[in-house]
Chains A and B, each alone.
Chain A
């Protein structure tokens, strides 16, 4: 049955019925395009987060008061350092800085540039870095979103920060971080730690919170309990908490789209079923003629399966290709803003291309199988009707 003349007949059928298949073809492309776009963007972001979160400190210790995070005393660092198995205890200085002209906030991060490890990392991030010049005076490094905003308001070389005490401090821009890291650095201004404290209004002997590592995995649970017992109202956030938090966030957003997709695909299948249930007389005649010339029901079903499989396959493939181009080449306008917020600074992030084979195969199965089933049932019903009746 599956010989050359069968395929010629199959393609001929598709070609003659092209207007009939066109609307289904276009709707299918749109459906696959939307779902695979969401799938591509969420897997790419999740992968980026998974790879990056491992560099995050194992624990972050925050001081709480009345359910709010408050500044933490630096004297706690010494106490934490005494705990067995704890390494690299460092204070972190960060906070939001309100940018009045646009009523939006930047994230200010204080970094100790004199630390050897930090200067190494900075060299990876900034290609034109000249460390001796950089350390001569207090410079800042800004994210690409901040740069765009500064350019708009003509802060080309420096910016005047206003401290909570009402003083004005001018800080020169040294370099701009590129788009590859803008997932983390888009609204970021990196300042020397002491200067960041002044801008954020932090006390000299205080920090935003404390970060630490516990290299031995088996000691982590104990270290956590011991840290909590060091002082009142301490909150310890582990790396695992952060991981599950961020992944849940993206899974939640993908899930939302998935629910919408299920509703849409069910409606689509219903329309498809109705359309094939009301097959017109010419279609009935066609099936009857095939039966009259000796085709069995099985052969007719085979023809219909192939015909509709080709439509589904073409639309699925084109949908996937278009969504890949939209997400990774065109940088996902609109959809990116749904995933990463839209009222923030202008965002341009280069998504890392990642092909989730498992998800694509699952999508293919969940799309093509119901598609074929919905079409086969009415066709089978007609194919079993008596030939004479159908032709009449």
Chain B
């Protein structure tokens, strides 16, 4: 009897994990990423629809010191000049 109860719990957990893997496997991720990518390419912008109360969007990015930003070094600047 006790064994039965515990094996039922084990079985339910096993079924739960099977459901997780099945759900993950059967979801059409490719189609979704295609759509999201087309959306970005189409509107040429990437802005997550945050709430209006949020002022966090792209324009809030800090104005970094351009010339010596991590992807630019001093030599690049001299070269351009």
Contact = CB atoms under 8 A, between A and B. Distances in A.
Interface of A: 8, 11-12, 14-15, 48-49, 51-57, 60, 62, 64, 67, 69, 90, 92, 94, 104-105, 107, 109, 111, 117-118, 121-122, 124-125, 143, 145, 177, 180-188, 190, 211, 220-222, 224-226, 228-229, 235-238, 240-242, 245-246, 249, 314, 317-318, 320-321, 324, 328-329, 340-345, 347, 350, 352-355
Interface in B3-45: 3, 5-6, 9, 13, 16-17, 19-21, 23-24, 27, 29, 31-45
B51 to A, nearest CB: 2
B49 A342 contact: no
Contacts of A242: 46, 58, 61
Contacts of A177: 39
A225 B35 contact: no
A125 B27 CA distance: 18
B13 A314 contact: yes
B80 A222 contact: yes
Q: Is the interface of A mostly helix, strand, loop or mixed?
A: helix
A369 B71 CA distance: 43
24 contacts: A11-B6, A48-B33, A51-B36, A52-B39, A56-B45, A67-B63, A105-B52, A122-B42, A124-B35, A180-B36, A183-B49, A184-B36, A184-B46, A188-B43, A222-B76, A235-B63, A246-B48, A317-B13, A321-B17, A341-B49, A343-B52, A347-B49, A350-B32, A354-B24
Contact of A341 (B31, B46, B54, B67): B54
Given A221-B72, A353-B24, A245 B61 contact: yes
Given A121-B38, A224-B71, A317-B16, A329 B64 contact: no
Interface of B: 2-3, 5-6, 9, 13, 16-17, 19-21, 23-24, 27, 29, 31-54, 56, 58-59, 61, 63-64, 66-67, 69, 71-73, 76-77, 79-80
A60 B59 CA distance: 11
B2 A180 contact: no
Given A342-B51, A353-B27, A211 B39 contact: no
A224 B72 contact: yes
Contact of B3 (A11, A184, A235): A11
Contacts of A241: 61, 64
Given A225-B67, A355-B24, A186 B49 contact: yes
Nearest to A51: B33
A185 B39 contact: yes
A125 B45 contact: no
A220 B73 CA distance: 12
A321 B13 contact: yes
A111 B42 contact: yes
Interface centre among B49, B54, B80 (most CB of A within 10 A): B49
Contact of A225 (B16, B54, B66): B66
A219 B57 CA distance: 27
B4 to A, nearest CB: 10
Contacts of A8: 2-3
